[in-house]
Amino acid sequence: MNPDIATKYFRASSRYANVTRVFDLHEILELLFGMGYEPLGGIPPRVFGYRAGASGQIARKGGVVVDINTDSRIIGVFGLDIAQTMSEFKAIEDGIRKQLMIDLKNYFYEILAEFEVFSGNNPIEAFSNLGDTIEGLEEISCAPDTELSLYGVKLCWKGKIPDSPEWAEVRIEPLSSKADKTYYVSVIYRHVDWSKLSLFAENIIEFVKGLIEYIEGKREGEG
């Protein structure tokens, strides 16, 4: 059967490299209100000579939530509909550039995502059999009469380091509350190029599907 993939978390964001503090909370909210968003929480009063800042979620439209950190120069958009979330993020960023006339300088874009995957197979058995392909794993033991096995895998962008504007990190393991039935998959993908990030988002479900098929292909002796 094809894996049933449920999106549990998806957030697209950007960190900007502007030296000065470019975001004013009131300006951002006015832009968002014009796009159909409603505020989350109270709005601070305007103060003479001061650009209002914020850290956290500031506005919602349906299932889409916008967050901001004015000090760190980060804007993020959360939603469980991946295509809609990516579209809303780009529309907000374009609005900041065009309507607010702010010359944004992107440091990097980032996707954070979590999925639960049900394939009809047992993830614990799948990882155990995948571990059987690793030479010498059976010789490792943490205590007498205790045999260790794989309980997941973690992958990263080869040759990159985590403290980089370009990075990928993927973790796949049994979901602890349903470990014999469901996989948990988390994804971090960071890139300086919006088009590369957007393409990854378009294909992220197929990417997750391929990961599970690879793991279970090993389990079934196909890899």
| Domain segments of the chain as ranges | 1-9+112-154+175-223, 18-104
Query: Mutual orientation of helices 194-202 and 82-98 as an angle, nearest 10°?
Result: 160
> According to the model, what pLDDT value does residue 141 have?
64
Q: Is 62 left (phi over 0), alpha (psi -120 to 50) or beta?
A: left
How confident is the model at residue 60, as a pLDDT? 98
Tell me the Ramachandran region of residue 94: left when phi exceeds 0, alpha when psi lies from -120 to 50, beta otherwise.
Answer: alpha
What lies within 8 Å, CB to CB, of 199 at 6+ separation is none
How much of the chain is in helix, strand and coil states, percent to nearest 5? Answer: 30, 30, 40
pLDDT for residue 50: 75
pTM recorded for the entire structure: 0.91
- Write out the two tokens for 87: 């579209």
Q: What is the distance between the alpha carbons of residues 108 and 18, in angstroms, rounded to a whole number?
A: 12
Residue 20 makes CB contacts below 8 A (sequence gap 6+) with none
pLDDT in tens, the chain (223 residues): 688 999 999 999 999 998 777 789 999 999 999 999 999 988 887 877 777 888 999 999 999 999 999 999 999 999 999 999 999 999 999 999 999 999 999 999 999 999 999 999 999 999 999 888 877 777 776 667 777 888 999 999 999 999 999 999 999 999 999 999 999 999 999 999 999 999 999 999 999 999 999 999 854 444 4
Task: Assign 3-class secondary structure to 108-173.
Answer: EEEEEEEEEEECCCCHHHHHHHHHCCCCCHHHCCCCCCCCCCCCCEEEECCCCCCCCCCEEEEEEE
Torsion, Cα of 210, 216, 220, 222 (10° steps): 30
pLDDT tens digit sequence for 22-77: 789 999 999 999 999 999 988 887 877 777 888 999 999 999 999 999 999 999 99
